Homo-oligomer: A and B are copies of this chain.
Amino acid sequence: MPSTSSAPSAPPSAASSREPRWLDEEEMAAWRSFVTASNLLNRRLERQLKEESGLSHTQYEILVHLSAAPAGSLRMTELADRLVTSKSGLTYQVTQLEKMGLVGRRSCPSDVRGVFAELTEQGDEMLREAAPGHVALVRELLIDVLTREQLAVLADGLGQVSARLRLDDAL
């Protein structure tokens, strides 16, 4: 009964190169809690955002990233990278947000192919309206549950993990 988990009936002897290094109890606990926390958190945030603002978490994140960017606008590809989604997925969501009047599209002056997604005034308002509740929940469910040290470790460790993944993807 292998899984991501600890050695099932793996030979307790020296690891043969055929048998992978399974995860020990602690490693397994870390991985499971990461996956579970991630799923549970997403679910909760999704529900809350939808209820309180009519936005999906994805849509909210798009607004956030645009808001954080200079001039409230970003190239589609760049935005997709930051959000960690597919380009086609972004195209879809930006279209949705456009219909809602929260985001607009502008063509890029220096590159005919380029498209800027741009936060509209309404989009900015929406974000200001949705943010407090969202932040409060993130705080309640994650941030305030952890100690300062735990947060530091999280930021640091997962920061490295992300960096590594970004590098790999770039290949």
How far does the alpha carbon of A19 sit from the alpha carbon of B68 in the complex, in Å?
Answer: 19
A-B contact pairs, 15 of them (CB 8 A): A1-B67, A3-B131, A4-B131, A5-B68, A27-B139, A27-B151, A29-B155, A30-B154, A37-B158, A40-B84, A40-B162, A141-B168, A146-B161, A150-B153, A150-B156
Chain B residues lying within 8 Å of A135, measured Cβ to Cβ, are 2, 4, 20-23
Residues 109-168 of A contacting B (Cβ, < 8 Å) = 124, 127-128, 131-132, 134-136, 138-139, 141-143, 145-162, 164-166, 168
Q: Which residue of B lies closest to A133 (CB)?
A: B20
| From B22, B152, B153, contact of A154 by CB (8 A) | B153
Q: Which of B37, B64, B155, B168 contacts A4 (CB 8 A)?
A: B64
Give Cα A104 to B19, complex, Å. Answer: 28
Residues of chain B with a CB closer than 8 A to A19's CB: 132
In the complex, whether A51 has a CB less than 8 A from a CB of chain B is no
Instruction: Quote the shortest CB–CB distance from A128 to chain B (angstroms).
Output: 5
Chain B residues, Cβ within 8 Å of A13: none
Instruction: Check if B31 sits within 8 Å of A138, measured CB to CB.
Output: yes
Shortest 7 CB-CB contacts between residues of A and residues of B: A39-B84, A2-B131, A33-B158, A3-B64, A29-B155, A30-B155, A40-B165
Known contacts A30-B155, A33-B154, A43-B84, A20 near B136 by CB under 8 Å: yes
Q: Which residues of chain B come closer than 8 Å to A39, judged between CB atoms?
A: 83-85
Q: Which residues of B contact A161 (CB under 8 A)?
A: 33, 37, 40-41, 141-142, 145-146
Which of A30, A135, A142, A149: most chain B Cβ within 10 A? A30
